[in-house]
Amino acid sequence: MGWRDVPTNEGVLGEIALSSLPRIEQIFVNAPAGWRPRDMERRLFIARRRIEKRLEADKDFYVCSLSNLVNIYKGLCMPADLPRFYLDLADLRLESAICLFHQRFSTNTVPRWPLAQPFRYLAHNGEINTITGNRQWARARTYKFQTPLIPDLHDAAPFVNETGSDSSSMDNMLELLLAGGMDIIRAMRLLVPPAWQNNPDMDPELRAFFDFNSMHMEPWDGPAGIVDVRWPFRRL
């Protein structure tokens, strides 16, 4: 295990962003021999949740990402200033198969570094009108979330935060589904299904798919962009 201070250029930040600028560090964790990438991803998910729960009282502590598949750079700055602030992004040695970028200004929440987008998998624009119900159902279903892939999954509970933005809560649920082995396309069809009930032209098997899913998860409506290491996904 090792870490470094992430190189940044504070001169591009505005007064408010600079006054609340956190110390930004990057940690490196070596996987045991023979582990598959998704196995490592699941262990990092549990590790991050244990860390977050232990440091819950520290409101200035936030983990942007702890992943061997996705690396998140976020900041309270203008889009054009992001590669000027994070010097890594201007380094020609940095390569990525997929890049998801999102610009979003807070409307119902006070802008904070942790709430800058994108989140760990999701870039979401808009509001989720059903967010209170979504969060309550997620809490009520905590005991049902089980998978042999993660025997100690309940060390990560609660799975959905109820104090951040609605987008961050939806990202929590998406992360949980992916950690449990669901692929990103099915996860998004589960979270953000189309208006299928009154569509007479829908294939019967597809209708049955959405009908089955509706018994297990209520919709989280809103436009979004999502990425994992293999697929970028957009949902309107």
Task: Kindly give the interhelix angle for 166-179 and 131-140, rounded to the nearest 10 degrees.
Answer: 40
Total domains in the chain come to 1
Beta bridge partners of 2: 28
pLDDT for 108 equals 65
**Residue range(s) defining the domain that contains residue 103:** 2-235
pLDDT for 64 equals 93
Q: Is the pLDDT of residue 124 over 90?
A: no
Q: Is the pLDDT of residue 23 over 90?
A: yes
pTM as predicted: 0.86
Cα–Cα distance measured from residue 207 to residue 221, given in angstroms and rounded to the nearest whole number: 18
CATH number for position 59: 3.60.20.10
Q: Is the pLDDT of residue 147 over 80?
A: yes
- 105-124: average pLDDT: 79
| pLDDT tens-digit series, residues 61-72 | 999 999 998 899
User: Residue 136: what are its φ and ψ, rounded to 5°?
Assistant: -65, -40
Confidence of residue 126 (pLDDT cuts 50, 70, 90): low
